[in-house]
Structure 1
Amino acid sequence: LPFFVLENIFNLAFTSSTHASANPTKIPSFLELTFHYFKDYNRSNLATSDNITIRHFTDLIRIFHLQHPLETRRHRDNKPAKYFPSVTEMLEAGVRIKVNTSKCLLDLRFSEGVLEIPQLEVEDSTEILFRNMIAFEQCYYLFESYITDYVTVLDFLINTNKDVDILVQNRVLVNWLGNSDSVTNLFNSLAKNVIHYRFSSDYSVLCKELNDFCSHRWHKWKATLRQDYCNSPWQTAASIAGILLLILSLLQSICSVLQVVQQFNES
């Protein structure tokens, strides 16, 4: 239902009852009650005093998830990202995953080998919530489909249950569904049969930066070294001890060779 219809019905009902009452009390506006009811989705801490035009409840929830002001986002790219590395691929290439404290769910950042992603709680209502927002964008915001872009990026990042487990371990995802398989299937199905006319340039730049970083062999070698030999304090200590032992053995061999050469020259 359109928001203005519900608002008019509310105003008619409660204005009449207030006038009929002997002790009229101040009743919150329908917009204030709506904000209070959906407060858990209001990540950007928008207030009723902000200049917001609302079509209906789904539109309001979408607005809550956007970055404000919208002008801070870059222009949109006509070519959608072709390939985002998965979380597992990024980890193998040396990318570190970190939870982002940004209030905006869409605010993914990559800098100096660290990918920051805002925390998302995945629960029973998550699928319905995102499907409604995606369907709404497909009808009214084909050229400003920010939620659809975000879900598409998550679809790239999450390919297997291992990807979900890594995001949960890094507190990027809070899994209330109980198992990783449900989360994987959720994000792999949300972006199916979705039309993309333009893709967010923020995510296009992010895609290029991640692909460039992951394509460097040096980053992969460092990641392998860190994961295989420096994954824990004990493993690091054992690796250092092994290197020191190797150096001492090499020095001992050199000293032995020099001693033999010296004895040969003296004879």
Structure 2
Amino acid sequence: MENEDHVTIELRQAFLDKQPLIQTKSCSIYKVPDDIRQLNKEAYIPMAVSIGPFHHGDPRLQKMEDHKLLYYKHFIQRPNVSLPEFVSCLRMLEPQIRACYSEKIDLTVDEFVKVILVDSAFIIEFLIRDEWTERDIIFKQPCLWNRIKYDLILLENQLPFFVLEEIFNLVHEFPPFMQRALSLVPPASNNKTLKQLPHDSSSILHFTDLFRYSLLKQRPSGRKSGSLALGHSASKLAEAGVKFIVNKSSSNMIDLEFKNGTLTIPPIQVEDVTEIWLRNVVALEQCHYPQEHYITDYVRFLGNLMNTNKDAGVLIKAGIIDCIVGGGNNYESSVAKLFNDVRKNILVTSTNVDYLRISQELNAYYEHPWHKRLAALKRWKGAVSIGGILLVILTIIQTVFTILQVVL
């Protein structure tokens, strides 16, 4: 110790003053990694309301703070509500709640408890209000109501699910919390919202995780090391004779099947907020489910299918993608860009075994000599058609010039 120089002493003191952050097994609410965030920062940041400590105090969201307090006031004035009981409950759970966040929270115990209680009360009051009143600006403005609804599924904007259930259950007048929570799950497909309750709500981490559950419905077959190697896009596969059929009967968005030359895919609605929920679910899988990233596999598979606008048009025409973004001739461009952007900077260690099999079968189908000839024939016919059209146009132009020369 006597021979230690000043650098050694400073480094030793720095370690004593500030312990390094260690993510525990309880960690479930994450800051989105920078390499993923940089592709679309706005997809991960709340636009109307902050929930939890990560975005607490953001000046952009201060307008909603007063309304959060109004909701909190209304909540604690309900019958059978005991504010001391809430505070006592959250003080006891405070270390467990704090451990759910991936980064250090610079709030005292008292400050942290206040943030969690106000935000919990706001969410619960938001869920149990069925009708708006003239004084309620949230329910009076559908755009604001929808914006809040989508803010509540952002990965960085979460409270642990067990906290909300604990507070909710202390008020005995309400139905089970899960029934209300499901109303926040937006419809991701034409199958509409999730009807089935999870068998064990304790397995749900937060609203982002609940949304992921609604997309999966059930655990897929399994995983295997290896990357998706789909060698041909949708338009190329269609040229080789592959038929694309929408599977309206499936309740599982990722339930793809290839059989007898037909690829069936459940429908998916693509709208302005689709990129937001896709990005946040994929970010959750990157952080928390590195060995079970089934939604990420789905995004990668559809991205491989849609390399170009023409590829996206194949899925839109088949009714697989119900597109309500873009407009005019931009539908195909918007869809293709969305799926290819979301899959960028994603790390994978394994892949859904069903998708690996389907990719191999699609590649083998395309490489079959007869199917390759069929694809070549269709491309040749297309080239001939284009050539014929150009010939007609040139003939018309030549005729016009001839007439003009005679007239002049």
Q: TM-score, normalised by structure 2?
A: 0.49
Unaligned runs of 5+ in 2: 1-158, 382-408
Structure 1 residues 67, 34: CA separation in 2 closer, same or farther (over 3 Å shift)? closer
Structure 1 residues 203, 127: CA separation in 2 closer, same or farther (over 3 Å shift)? same
CA separation in 2, counterparts of 1:44 and 1:115?
25
CA separation in 1, counterparts of 2:232 and 2:209?
31
Q: 1:58 aligns with which of 191, 202, 208?
A: 208
Q: Does 1:167 align with 2:315?
A: yes
Q: Does 1:77 align with 2:227?
A: no
Cα shift at 1:10: 2.6
Q: Does 1:198 align with 2:356?
A: no
Amino acid at match of 1:31: M
Matched-pair contact (CA < 8 Å) for 1:76–1:199: yes
CA separation in 1, counterparts of 2:169 and 2:200?
20
Matched with 1:36 is 183
Matched with 1:158 is 306
Question: Share of identical aligned residues, percent?
Answer: 40
Amino acid at match of 1:60: L
CA separation in 2, counterparts of 1:166 and 1:146?
24
Q: Relative contact order, CA 8 A, sep 6+: which one is greater?
A: 1
Structure 1 residues 39, 194: CA separation in 2 closer, same or farther (over 3 Å shift)? closer
Cα shift at 1:38: 2.1
CA separation in 1, counterparts of 2:217 and 2:178?
21
Matched with 1:214 is 366
CA separation in 1, counterparts of 2:292 and 2:235?
30
Q: What secondary structure does 1:40 align onto?
A: coil
Structure 1 residues 9, 123: CA separation in 2 closer, same or farther (over 3 Å shift)? same
Alignment of 1:80-95 (within 5 A): 80-95=227-242
CA separation in 1, counterparts of 2:247 and 2:232?
19
Say what the alpha-carbon RMSD is for the aligned residues.
Answer: 2.2
Q: What secondary structure does 1:168 align onto?
A: helix
Q: 1:122 aligns with which of 257, 260, 270?
A: 270
Q: Does 1:9 align with 2:149?
A: no
Amino acid at match of 1:173: I
Unaligned runs of 5+ in 1: 16-25, 230-267
Cα shift at 1:227: 9.1
Q: TM-score, normalised by structure 1?
A: 0.74
CA separation in 1, counterparts of 2:266 and 2:299?
13
Matched with 1:105 is 253
Matched-pair contact (CA < 8 Å) for 2:268–2:321: yes
Structure 1 residues 51, 84: CA separation in 2 closer, same or farther (over 3 Å shift)? farther
Q: What secondary structure does 1:88 align onto?
A: helix
Structure 1 residues 212, 187: CA separation in 2 closer, same or farther (over 3 Å shift)? same
Amino acid at match of 1:3: F
Cα shift at 1:112: 0.8
Cα shift at 1:67: 4.3
Cα shift at 1:159: 0.8
Amino acid at match of 1:2: P
Amino acid at match of 1:38: V
CA separation in 2, counterparts of 1:43 and 1:104?
11
Matched-pair contact (CA < 8 Å) for 1:2–1:56: yes
Matched-pair contact (CA < 8 Å) for 1:86–1:157: yes
Q: 2:285 aligns with which of 137, 153, 156?
A: 137
- 1:176-199 alpha-carbon deviations (Å, 9 max, x no partner): 103221111111110111010111
CA separation in 2, counterparts of 1:59 and 1:84?
32
Cα shift at 1:223: 5.5
Cα shift at 1:29: 2.2
Matched-pair contact (CA < 8 Å) for 1:85–1:211: yes
Structure 1 residues 43, 76: CA separation in 2 closer, same or farther (over 3 Å shift)? farther
Cα shift at 1:43: 5.7
Matched pairs, number: 214
Matched-pair contact (CA < 8 Å) for 1:121–1:174: yes
Matched with 1:260 is none
